[in-house]
Amino acid sequence: MNCKEAFMSDAPFYTIDEMDLAFDRLKSITHKTPYPTAEERQQCLTDLQISLLNYELPLLKALQKDFGCRAHEESRLIELVPLIGEIKHAKRHLSKWMRPSRRSVHISSFPAAAKVVYQPKGVVGVISPWNYPVLLCLGPLVGAIAAGNRVMLKVSEFCPETNKVLRDILHESLGEDWVELVEGEVDIADKFSQIAFDHLLFTGSTSVGRIVMRNAAKNLTPVTLELGGKSPLLVASSADLNDTAKKLIFGKVLNAGQTCVAPDYVLCHQDQKQALIDKMKHELAVYYPDGILSPDYTSLANNRQMSRLKAYLEEATAANIEIENLMADRAVEQEGKLAFHILHQPGDKLAVMQDEIFGPLLPILTYSDIEEAFDYIQQRPRPLAMYLFTQKKEDQKRCEENIASGSLVINQTLIQVAQPNLPFGGVGASGMGSYHAEEGFRTFSHGKSVLRQRGFNIVGLLRPPYKRGIHQLIEKYWPFF
């Protein structure tokens, strides 16, 4: 069978038995062809790239249907542009990534040669979320295919129209020899994470990530977890507030804030706060002149997300927290959209300061000395991203060396995700492991050490009895070997 064969099942939702059969089929193919050639992998990546471009318009229309309102330009920018960039980068560097890594050999093993060979792990499972249903589904697929694996994809049931197009894309480009796309609800997702994959990557909430890791542990399946968390944006007193406001609004309101690396809260100097808010309000009016009715302002994915975000506002209101709608028309909610609100100094015990917000709400906290801000961030769970706006190198150095985060972005927001040559991943509560770039290839590969002995070897002299001269020599000089 070649990589253009049709999928086993056209049914949009899988049963547990069908999912097990799909895994067994991919496992069998892996046993027969455990090490696909560089040419085969390159061809699959090329076919995927061509199919994505061929299906661009259907994909953009499907995303619009699933979200209710999401501009084609925004979907292209945040889903397709970084994805195509990642495919091109993998194709360009694949031969180098696959090349065995030569290693030195200890003197006691002479003469011998050593290397590390990067072997496909086998069948990889990927669980993708609803907020970026194309990028966060196919992005891990790129790294897994580049590493020579077969892949099962569990996509979100909240994006049915997008899933239909993804199925067509994968059918056309890869087929059943390489990938299986699985749809289903909570029971299927739970069972999926219990399959004995050779590696499992999950993108989603920290609470569900714990369940996935527990399920994977039953089979000792290695996991990569991309979990998000509360990514801070720190505005130093030296920051350019005009520039900060533009980039803050772009990073927070893109996809209606439904982005795992969106700024989750702001820390700014108490003397900057009002000026920053005024500039944010100006930028919102420029970006979205008709407020939430602007066609470029994205809807929330579903009613469940709307209810969750409104509950944050209701709790904050009950706690007498000042809340301010910064949108031009002042409408709060309409057509599945929620206005961008800031929350002034919400207490740490509020849900909006405990949970990842994942929407157009932005708490703003103030400090009198930047050391307070650094301490505040360091005392909290490690975030997926840290954003710093400053003109001082000492602030940058402090963040680089002392703030643990999945990534650090200085004087910009979000763009780290679209860099095909940078790894992407969290640390601590925001995840473990990484993918993208060469690190993604390594994540989905097993670095197998290979040692080849040649001819007579010193080890032969080291056998018992130990009273021979060679051991007396080692006893005297071993620290220098």
Residues of the chain with pLDDT > 70, as a percent, come to 93
CA distance 28 to 15: 20
Q: pLDDT by residue (tens digit) across 302-313?
A: 999 999 999 999
Q: Are 153 and 176 in contact (CB under 8 A)?
A: no
CA distance 304 to 26: 35
Mean pLDDT, range 82-103, rounded to an integer:
97
Tell me how crowded residue 284 is: count the other CB atoms within 10 A of its CB.
Answer: 22
pLDDT at residue number 8: 35
| Band of residue 12 on the pLDDT scale cut at 50, 70, 90 | low
Q: pLDDT by residue (tens digit) across 365-398?
A: 999 999 999 999 999 999 999 999 999 999 999 9
For the stretch 75-78, contacts whose Cβ atoms lie closer than 8 Å and that sit 24 or more positions apart, written own/partner, are 75/134, 78/132, 78/135, 78/254, 78/255, 78/259
Q: pLDDT by residue (tens digit) across 395-404?
A: 999 999 999 9
pLDDT at residue number 326: 95
pLDDT at residue number 249: 97
| 136, 184, 416 from 301: Cα distances, Å | 16, 17, 24
DSSP-derived secondary structure letter, 477: H
Q: pLDDT by residue (tens digit) across 112-127?
A: 899 999 999 999 999 9
Q: Are 430 and 405 in contact (CB under 8 A)?
A: yes
Q: Which residues contact 480 (CB under 8 A, 6 or more apart)?
A: none
pLDDT at residue number 458: 67
Which residues are known to be catalytic?
A: 226, 260
pLDDT at residue number 336: 94
Tell me how crowded residue 214 is: count the other CB atoms within 10 A of its CB.
Answer: 11
Mean pLDDT, range 216-235, rounded to an integer:
96
| Band of residue 419 on the pLDDT scale cut at 50, 70, 90 | very high
Residue 86 has pLDDT above 70, yes or no: yes
Edge-first strand listing for the sheet containing 101-103: 101-103, 112-120, 445-453
Residue 106 has pLDDT above 80, yes or no: yes
Residue 229 has pLDDT above 70, yes or no: yes
Mean pLDDT, range 71-93, rounded to an integer:
97
Q: Are 414 and 254 in contact (CB under 8 A)?
A: yes
pLDDT at residue number 467: 67
Mean pLDDT, range 162-170, rounded to an integer:
97
Of 110 and 421, the one with more pLDDT: 421
| Band of residue 9 on the pLDDT scale cut at 50, 70, 90 | very low
| Band of residue 460 on the pLDDT scale cut at 50, 70, 90 | low
* DSSP conformation letters of 405-428: -SEEEES-SSGGGG-TTS-B---G
Going by C-alpha positions, the residue among 321, 254, 241 that lies closest to residue 281 is 241
Mean pLDDT, range 438-449, rounded to an integer:
96
Q: Which residues contact 267 (CB under 8 A, 6 or more apart)?
A: 232, 233, 234, 235, 365, 366, 367, 373, 376, 377
What pTM did the predictor assign?
A: 0.92
| Band of residue 425 on the pLDDT scale cut at 50, 70, 90 | very high
pLDDT at residue number 7: 33
Residue 1 has pLDDT above 60, yes or no: no
Residue 145 has pLDDT above 90, yes or no: yes
CA distance 212 to 398: 34
Mean pLDDT, range 417-443, rounded to an integer:
94
H-state helical runs in 149-272: 160-173, 186-192, 206-217, 241-253
The per-residue pLDDT of the chain, averaged, comes to 92
Q: pLDDT by residue (tens digit) across 247-269?
A: 999 999 999 999 999 999 999 99
Residue 459 has pLDDT above 90, yes or no: no
| Band of residue 427 on the pLDDT scale cut at 50, 70, 90 | very high
Q: Are 159 and 73 in contact (CB under 8 A)?
A: no
Q: Are 193 and 128 in contact (CB under 8 A)?
A: no
Domains of the chain, first to last? 16-227+433-447 (3.40.605.10), 232-421 (3.40.309.10)
pLDDT at residue number 473: 64
Residue 2 has pLDDT above 50, yes or no: no
